């Protein structure tokens, strides 16, 4: 079911958040932001802070694992789509980065993978962990729904668009992905790709999973920011190309120090912001 989260103006936040000093024009009106990925909590925090700084505005989040955010913008049901890839028909602004982590059970002793080996795993060319120095068991693939931007970015970067076998188990939310990897029998077999922020969070809390290094690079915020870690996706705001002062104000807030501080709570902020 689509979760419509009406973030009413006047919500009291801890601490003061304001637009950057260069922004003096008062904005008003409403926006609907559509998405289907793990960015929901971050966008909710951004929306509340923006409303706090602009009391005559309110933002409605239209979020569902199976939704198509760009289609909602095209039809006028939303004004902003949160995606991981640009579309020539829309204006795009990047507000952060997220890595794409390769998640396995903690007991899987595979040390690391190359980017090519990740492609071989998820295209079905490699079917046994033993071919990669791991346990003697078949690889169980966990895929994501077709419309999710993490899947689009993952397939595009690896050159495997449309090549992930239909036998792969398709799971939408990151939390359910983690639970499936933890609960799969035998525990050595499952592999999934996941938002790195979610993956690092669950690893830090002691959940029995880990993220594999790729091309000898650990999946960490600094390696995603500077591009050393080879699997990453941008967090993009897409909207129609027609000028819209309220959309521009929201983008500028997301890129301001207060907005980037909110993004940094979960994702990697933009360099220099």
| pLDDT tens digit sequence for 29-84 | 999 999 988 899 999 999 999 999 999 999 999 998 888 999 999 999 999 999 98
My answer on whether omega of the bond before 186 falls inside 30° of 0, hence cis, is yes
CA 13 to CA 30: how far, in whole Å?
Answer: 20
The phi and psi torsions of 189 (rounded to 5 degrees) equal -90, -35
Average pLDDT for residues 149-178, to the nearest whole number?
93
CA–CA separation, 127 and 86 (whole Å): 33
pLDDT, one tens digit per residue, over 207-247 is 999 999 999 999 999 999 999 999 999 999 999 999 999 99
The Cα 232–Cα 16 span in angstroms is 32
**Tokens at residue 264, please?**
């940094």
Question: pTM, whole model, 2 decimals?
Answer: 0.82
The pLDDT tens digits for 99-130 are 999 999 999 999 999 999 999 999 999 999 99
């Amino acid at each position: 079911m689509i979760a419509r989260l009406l973030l009413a103006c006047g919500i009291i936040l801890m601490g003061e958040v304001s637009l950057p000093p260069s922004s003096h024009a008062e904005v008003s009106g409403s926006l609907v932001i559509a998405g289907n990925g793990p960015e929901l909590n971050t966008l909710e925090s951004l929306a509340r802070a923006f409303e706090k700084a602009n009391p005559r505005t309110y933002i409605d989040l239209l979020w569902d694992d199976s939704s198509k955010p760009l289609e909602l913008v095209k039809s006028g049901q939303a004004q902003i789509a949160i995606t991981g890839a640009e579309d020539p028909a829309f204006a795009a602004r990047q507000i952060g980065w997220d890595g794409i982590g390769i998640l396995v059970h903690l007991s899987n002793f595979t040390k690391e993978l190359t980017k090519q080996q990740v492609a071989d795993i998820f295209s079905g060319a490699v079917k046994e962990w033993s071919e990669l120095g791991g346990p003697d068991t078949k690889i169980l693939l966990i895929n994501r729904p077709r419309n999710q931007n993490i899947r689009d970015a993952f397939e595009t970067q690896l050159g495997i668009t449309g090549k992930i076998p239909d036998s792969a188990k398709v799971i939408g939310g990151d939390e359910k992905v983690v639970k499936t990897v933890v609960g799969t029998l035998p525990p050595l077999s499952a592999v999934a790709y996941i938002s790195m922020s979610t993956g690092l969070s669950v690893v830090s809390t002691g959940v029995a999973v880990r993220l594999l290094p790729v091309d000898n690079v650990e999946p960490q915020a600094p390696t995603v920011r500077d591009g050393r870690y080879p699997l990453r996706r941008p967090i993009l705001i897409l909207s129609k190309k027609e000028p819209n002062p309220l959309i521009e104000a929201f983008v500028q807030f997301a890129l301001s120090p207060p907005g980037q501080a909110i993004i940094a709570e979960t994702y990697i902020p933009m360099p220099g912001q």
